[in-house]
Amino acid sequence: MADGDTVTVLDAGNKQHRVRLTGIDAPERHQAYGSKSTESLVGLVYLKKVTVQSSGTDRYKRVLGKILFGGVDVNLEQVKRGLAWHYKQYQRDQPPEDRVSYSYAETQARQGRTGLWGGDSQIPPWEYRRGKR
């Protein structure tokens, strides 16, 4: 497990694939809520048979995908729990229904002060990464 938006999955042939969850961006490890986001993702997928709906690969050769387990969209669940942002910079790559549901989930989490939205300062991971360079 890397963080709250990247996991390693095994396929039927026991080959490992690193999957970057599409449509979301979770706090980095050293950010507030970084470990909570990772723990949440671990709880959702660890040792479970999941389905990955792939939409290609990124520049780091990670599979870009939506993870499903038991009919639950794991990516969306991270946003609902207030442990990831809807990554609007890349929303054009999402199906329209996902754009709407992820955006709505983030709004609901913000309004309910769920997860990271309950704190005083929410620095989006893309801004945090920019500051680290």
In a 10 Å sphere around its CB, with 0-12 CB exposed, 13-18 middle and 19+ buried, how is residue 23 labelled?
A: buried
Residues serving a catalytic function are 20, 28, 62
In a 10 Å sphere around its CB, with 0-12 CB exposed, 13-18 middle and 19+ buried, how is residue 131 labelled?
A: exposed
* Residue 128 dihedral angles phi and psi, to the nearest 5°: -60, -45
Cβ proximity of 9 and 24 under 8 Å: no
The b/e string for 45-58 (b: 16+ C-beta within 10 A; e otherwise) is beeeebebeeeeee
